[in-house]
Chain A
């Protein structure tokens, strides 16, 4: 078998169902089976119920409602024969060896030759799973360990056994990488694999050290969180999120399987406070509460557990002088002469040392361990990157001073960094003590790598233009949160001229967490506050002109968003010849939230898209109505698939599942457009004029009476209605792009002067949330 065209998942619990949903997200048909319910009735009830629940869940396991249709549900008594059509069978049933093994025997009887069978186990060694099973089964068997939730967590740990065929691992890994968008990390058959082995060590260390030091959970999370580039949930809020009862399973398996010499045993001891919480049902967010809770009986008061008494008390603001005084220096924090500084080291020193100890035990190399922690626990930096931050020599010395045994890789490093850049190429320290180049897999191109070995073609404070090879340039936003400002537009204008002269095609892409959050609102508010209306209008006009220049440039432009692409960040997508979007793209025209309308061509482009491509009833209103609804409610597509439904992505635009492959895919798309490239023909609109505006305003007035639209929503929607209806036009006339852009600009200028719009902008800047005025 060389490709995977159909998948089966057995076990429709949270993980199994989530894996099935994500396979469906990739457009692959998937069979989801669970047992027949003991209470009788619908024999497929468990799998069916799981799909129904996922359709309502938030964050959504599905990237589009349509994906759910790719799942065939059934039960393991009546439908096991469906496995015969599947190329990959994922077992995600309860963590009981006898049940899993009995299931494997039944799977083996029906599966097609060469199909891969994998387990999503997080605690049972592969060796034990395979005990007593045939060599033929073992050759096709491996562990594929997903993280929860499977759609959003990018890590996939893959464990092969001694008998597992290399090709089986290769096929599953390639599928997981390209189709499921996972970063595959190969692990050895050791308990907890990599991420949970280290993660559980870290969590356990953080819990016992906090208790021993008499710390409160707020301070502990403030220390073992943001300062390390670890999500602000830190330790205790993270345990609430994943469920306190998950820990004992992994801890149990590690206790049983790891040799007595393993450092895990040094921190592994019972924690009565936590045991009592679990026994009483305080298992975290899914239970009655966790280390933190919102007390509904006390007017939704925020409370936290006192680690000494085990009782809830009012939540406190974390106040950690050590963090403030250490600034960005982790070493200063670890050395800080305070209980908090001591805690930081008592947790992270052993944790980072444990990471070192995993080299050769759980993983072959350090980069796998770093990747596992970055993607499995959302650490911004892997443990070895953290050691590099404080310096390997410093770390080694402090570890020795603490009396902690020195792991071999630290001795081998001998004070040298784990990562270094040589001749513009990132290198990593190998287990042999020598540095080797970090080689990206085929089809992976990272702007970060290009930046290491070259200088920008153009650059200013908000953006840069890079040469990414083969005649393709890459325009990168570099401002805070990739917000767009006049500098961005200025460099984009210059880049268009430069690409025309020196390149064949342009890709708009960056490696921030968000493609762009839209126009720089702070700047707009500042200009409005000093009544710099001329400047604001020039900013709008310049944005329109620049985006149009991009659209009609004599070379192909491909925009490649990932994360949020909002407002002006969405409008730039709309002006590209093609979009290659990361599957996790969140995009939409959200301007009404700040009392404005899309003024950089967003209304015009959406109208052109829906008129040309919308599968709507005939007549002038359906496209106008659809665009009006989308923009007036600030609709955001919560995936690239949803962006397709909104026609932000057009047929022919691409979706890349794996974040690492986005730039290479976008570049390939741009190059494919080069031969015989012709800029698009400008659209011409036939619009009904004032009559359409009346119809749209009537609808908004209805929503206002219902209390679903605020007074200022009415003003903003009215301005939007004026644009989409075509202004003073009539069905016997046509409006060109210039005409609509003028309407956008005029409406924008009217709104930006409105005090209620300014109040919305100010509120958004202050709170990050829209003002409903």
Chain B
């Protein structure tokens, strides 16, 4: 087995869908700038890149065509670099990392750019033309269930109170705000050039979030439920990218290695409780690596909703002090296709920053799946 490493991570600022500064930036322009910045910052010779693997959850409209190829050409990658758009909903760009790792093991390339993008302003969640299969819907309505409803199901099944969810959300905002304040997000963020000027700042973080404020919100998905807009990740516009290559290649070219990929996993679950997806995937990945959850030093668990994050923390026995050190998606935002590459890149960077041995990046996926990536310090 070759050793596959993460040797670079950048992302755009994440801003609120519709209200945020990226609303007017096309997703292809957004992703191309992030990919270009990854190449510049890592110093990789672009000719060496085998493929641009780009995750996107709703690859239609401005995110349509073969977005990966379009973005590669827009970013002036050499024409010899390929482009594949990958859709596994929220797990899309983490899947891109897995695909790259697999290809590297097959000897099908040494270096890959794994990116993700979602402009949820310009291409709405569910897309422009949702056309579910009527007969299948009759048989299994949960397969198309809205994410908020699955979050309510998880909250009910795991008996997670509204207060717990709100405490989780407040912590996410506090951590993200503190990280931003301390300049800990500066290295990963790429300023995006738009017609209106340069966009540098994350737009979703609300440092002023309080338990009292959250307690006043109405339930967002079910009048009798516990999940509110404040305990859900916001609709977000953003892009991210990581460089995935062999350790050998990185060392030869003096790239800054953040972490190595130890194991990966996918695991399905019931669509009605899709938020619990990380549990199965993480267990598989830990098992494949011969590790226990207690050995993890850094955990990036995507906060689609506070309810599902808490359920996963509880089921996996994770140490909350190690989860989402610089805040999670509730505070930072969750541009669907871009989140996987962000949390892999973030987990790798944190592992290096914190000086631990093992890191986990994991997330839930609509339709009932989890995906996990285990990282190891190099």
Contact = CB atoms under 8 A, between A and B. Distances in A.
Instruction: Say which size band chain A's interface belongs to.
Output: 10 to 19
Contacts of B129: 617, 619-622
Contacts of A619: 128-129
B193 interface: no
A694 B149 contact: no
Interface in B214-268: 219-223, 225
B134 A693 contact: yes
B122 to A, nearest CB: 10
B132 A695 contact: yes
A448 interface: no
A707 B222 CA distance: 7
A706 B131 contact: no
Interface in A702-733: 702, 705-707
Nearest to B223: A707
B219 A706 contact: yes
A622 B124 CA distance: 11
Contact of B128 (A617, A690, A692, A707): A617
Contacts of A691: 131-134
A616 B128 CA distance: 9
Contacts of B146: 698, 702
A688 interface: yes
B4 to A, nearest CB: 38
A616 B124 CA distance: 13
B137 interface: yes
B219 to A, nearest CB: 7
Interface string A573-617: 000000000000000000000000000000000000000000011
A691 to B, nearest CB: 4
A618 B128 contact: yes
Chain B interface extent, by class: 10 to 19
B149 A705 contact: yes
A621 B221 contact: no
A166 B43 CA distance: 76
Contacts of B219: 706-707
B197 interface: no
A690 B136 CA distance: 12
A622 B128 contact: yes
Interface in A615-631: 616-622
Contact of A694 (B128, B137, B148, B221): B137
A702 B130 CA distance: 15
B144 interface: yes
Nearest to A689: B134
A702 B221 CA distance: 7
Contacts of A621: 128-131
A702 B149 contact: yes
Contacts of A702: 146, 148-149, 221
Contacts of A706: 219-223
A688 B132 CA distance: 10
Nearest to B61: A617
Nearest to B138: A694
A705 B223 contact: yes
For A691, A694, A702, the residue with the greatest tally of chain B CB atoms inside 10 Å of its CB is A694
A705 B222 contact: yes
Contacts of A694: 132-134, 137, 144
Contact of A698 (B144, B222, B225): B144
Given A618-B128, A622-B129, A690 B134 contact: yes
A705 B131 contact: no
B155 to A, nearest CB: 14
Contacts of B148: 702
Interface in B118-132: 128-132
Contacts of A692: 131
Nearest to B132: A694
B136 to A, nearest CB: 9
Interface in B147-167: 148-149
Nearest to A688: B131
A610 to B, nearest CB: 14
Nearest to B146: A702
Most chain B CB atoms below 10 A, which of A616, A617, A688: A617
Interface string A673-693: 000000000000000101111
Nearest to A617: B128
A702 B61 CA distance: 25
B222 A695 contact: no
Contacts of A618: 128
A705 B153 CA distance: 13
A614 to B, nearest CB: 12
B290 to A, nearest CB: 43
A620 B129 CA distance: 7
B298 to A, nearest CB: 36
A325 B221 CA distance: 57
A705 B221 contact: yes
A718 to B, nearest CB: 13
B217 to A, nearest CB: 13
Nearest to B124: A617
B163 to A, nearest CB: 21
A620 B149 CA distance: 26
B194 to A, nearest CB: 20
A409 B61 CA distance: 73
B231 to A, nearest CB: 15
Nearest to B136: A694
Given A694-B137, A698-B144, A620 B223 contact: no
B129 to A, nearest CB: 4
Contacts of A617: 61, 128-129
Contacts of A620: 129, 131
Interface string B98-134: 0000000000000000000000000000001111111
Nearest to B220: A706
A713 to B, nearest CB: 13
A692 B133 CA distance: 9
A379 to B, nearest CB: 45
B131 A695 contact: yes
Nearest to A624: B129
Q: 3 closest Cβ contacts across the A-B interface?
A: A707-B223, A619-B129, A690-B134
Given A617-B61, A688-B131, A698-B130, 19 more contacts: A621-B130, A622-B129, A690-B134, A691-B132, A691-B134, A692-B131, A694-B132, A694-B134, A694-B144, A695-B130, A698-B144, A702-B146, A705-B221, A705-B222, A705-B223, A705-B225, A706-B222, A707-B222, A707-B223
10 contacts: A620-B131, A621-B128, A621-B131, A622-B128, A694-B134, A698-B144, A698-B146, A702-B148, A702-B221, A705-B149
Interface of A: 616-622, 688, 690-695, 698, 702, 705-707
